[in-house]
Chains A and B, each alone.
Chain A
Amino acid sequence: MGTRGKLGQLVRWIDALWRAVSSLREVALETIGLGSDVDHHTEVTFRAVTDAVLPETPALGSEIGDEHVPGGLAIALDEFVVTYVDDGFQLGLPHVGPHGNIQLADPIAHALDFAALALCDRSENESEPSPDRPVSLLDPGEASPEAVRDAAGTFSKLSSKDRLRAISILDEFELSVTPGVDDLFEFDAGLVGQLVVGFTEMIYYSEWQGYDEFTQPPSERVHPNDPAAVQSWRQTGFPGFADGYAALRGYIGTDDGTLGDGETWTTIDSDAASPVRITRQPGSFRENEYDTSDYTEPYPE
Chain B
Amino acid sequence: MVAESYDAVVVGAGGDGPVAAWKLGEAGLSVLLLEAGPFYGNEQWPKPNEEPGGEASSSTADLSGDLLDEQFTTREFEMINKLLFGPADHERGFWFRKFPGDGAILQCAGVGGTTLHYTGCHPRAYPASIDEQGHWPIDYADLLPYYREVEELCEVTPAPITAKEELFFRGAARAGWEFIDDYNVTGPGYRPQPNAIRPPDAKLHVDAGHDGGFTYPEVRGDTLALGNIAGNPHPRGAPYEEKAKRASNVSFVPAALRTGNVTIRPNAFVTDVRTETALDDSPTATGVAFRDTWTGRTESVEAEVVILAAGAIETPRLWLNTDLPRNEWVGRGLTIHFGDNVMGLWDAADLEGILGKRTVDQHQGQDIAARFDYPGLGMLQTVGTGPGIGAILGFGASASGFAFQNDPDDAPWDTMGRLAGAELKRLLSDYRRMLQILVVSDDRPHKRNGVTVSEALPDEHGPIPLVNYEPSRGDRQRRDELAEIAAEILREAGAAHVHRSDSPPTALHVHSTMRMGKVVDETCEAYDVERLFVADHSALSNGVGGANPTNTGQALAARTADRILERYF
Binary interface encoding of chain B residues 235-251 relative to chain A, with 1 for a CB under 8 A from any of its CBs, else 0: 11000000000000000
The answer, yes or no, to whether B280 is at the interface (CB within 8 Å) is: no
Say whether A288 contacts B205, CB under 8 Å: no
Main secondary structure of the interface of A (DSSP, over half): mixed
A205 to B427, CA, bound (A): 12
Taking the closest CB of chain B, its distance from the CB of A175, in whole angstroms, is 11
Contact among B93, B182, B473 with A286 in the assembled complex (CB-CB below 8 Å): B182
A171 to B502, CA, bound (A): 15
- Give chain B residues whose Cβ lies under 8 Å from the Cβ of A53: 420-421, 424
Say whether B179 contacts A272, CB under 8 Å: yes
Taking the closest CB of chain B, its distance from the CB of A210, in whole angstroms, is 8
- Give chain A residues whose Cβ lies under 8 Å from the Cβ of B98: 187-188
A295 to B133, CA, bound (A): 9
- Give chain A residues whose Cβ lies under 8 Å from the Cβ of B461: 92
Complex interface residues of chain B between 463 and 482 (CB less than 8 A to chain A)? 464, 472-474, 477-478, 481
Q: Given A202-B392, A243-B225, A243-B235: A233 and B387 within 8 A (CB)?
A: yes
Complex interface residues of chain A between 254 and 293 (CB less than 8 A to chain B)? 254, 257-259, 266, 268-269, 272, 276, 278, 280, 282-292
Say whether B375 contacts A244, CB under 8 Å: no
Say whether B395 contacts A246, CB under 8 Å: no
The answer, yes or no, to whether A120 is at the interface (CB within 8 Å) is: no
Binary interface encoding of chain B residues 425-461 relative to chain A, with 1 for a CB under 8 A from any of its CBs, else 0: 1101101100000000000100000000000111111
Contact among A90, A272, A283 with B158 in the assembled complex (CB-CB below 8 Å): A283
The answer, yes or no, to whether B418 is at the interface (CB within 8 Å) is: yes
The answer, yes or no, to whether B44 is at the interface (CB within 8 Å) is: no
Say whether A218 contacts B49, CB under 8 Å: yes
Say whether B421 contacts A164, CB under 8 Å: yes
What count of chain B residues pass the 8 Å CB interface test? Answer: 124
Q: Given A168-B405, A206-B388, A286-B183: A59 and B422 within 8 A (CB)?
A: yes
Complex interface residues of chain A between 159 and 180 (CB less than 8 A to chain B)? 160-161, 164-165, 168, 170-171
A127 to B383, CA, bound (A): 39
Q: Assuming A98-B91, A269-B174, what are 9 further A-B pairs, CB within 8 angstroms?
A: A60-B422, A60-B425, A202-B391, A219-B49, A245-B223, A280-B205, A282-B160, A286-B182, A287-B183
Closest 6 CB pairs of A and B: A244-B214, A206-B388, A244-B223, A92-B460, A190-B102, A198-B396
- Chain B residues with CB under 8 Å of chain A are 47, 49-50, 70-71, 73-78, 80, 82, 86-87, 89-96, 98-104, 127-128, 131-132, 140, 157-158, 160-163, 165-166, 169-170, 173-174, 178-179, 181-184, 186, 191-192, 194, 199-200, 202-206, 208, 210, 213-215, 219, 223-225, 227, 234-236, 361, 363-365, 375-377, 386-392, 395-397, 401-402, 404-405, 418, 420-422, 424-426, 428-429, 431-432, 444, 456-461, 464, 472-474, 477-478, 481, 504
